[in-house]
Amino acid sequence: MKGTRIGVASAILTVLCVACTHDTMRSGSAAGELPTDSMPPFPNGVVLRVENANATRVHVYVEANEDTNEVANVAPGATQTVAIDQRYLRYAYTTFEVWPDSGGRPARLGDFQLAKGDRVRIVVAPNLDSSHVYQHGNW
């Protein structure tokens, strides 16, 4: 009798685990990407999410005190989430630049005061000049 109860409990636990895993697989997030609502703050820097609604691939650069680096390269219609190192937080202001692959002038977004643990979202609009930034976790 005791063996039967253990077998039934094990079967129920297995079914629950499979159901939870199956539900997680249908979350809508891309492979290898964490769902943004559950993404914890990056303790040593900033989490940056770039959503590209533009018709061309864009390159996103972060600039602080003339120190500029590319942090994201996002295809049209795609989203990329990256961590920005804390070295960009030692300056008073940080600026983002969005350069389209098709040429043309970049969109300059900023100046922002970033702090450790911030979550920043850049939405690249079809009209590059209409792109905008949400700061402080407004995802």
The tens digit of pLDDT for each residue in 48-76 reads 999 999 999 999 999 887 788 899 999 99
| The predicted structure's pLDDT at residue 72 | 95
| The predicted structure's pLDDT at residue 26 | 32
Q: Which CATH superfamily is domain 36-134 in?
A: Carboxypeptidase-like, regulatory domain (2.60.40.1120)
Closest CA to 107 of 53, 40, 67, 31: 53
φ, ψ at 38 (rounded to 5°): -100, 0
| The predicted structure's pLDDT at residue 22 | 38
The tens digit of pLDDT for each residue in 84-112 reads 877 777 777 889 999 999 888 899 998 88
pTM for this model (two decimals): 0.68
In sequence order, which ranges of the chain are alpha helices (DSSP H)? 2-25
What average pLDDT does the chain have? 75
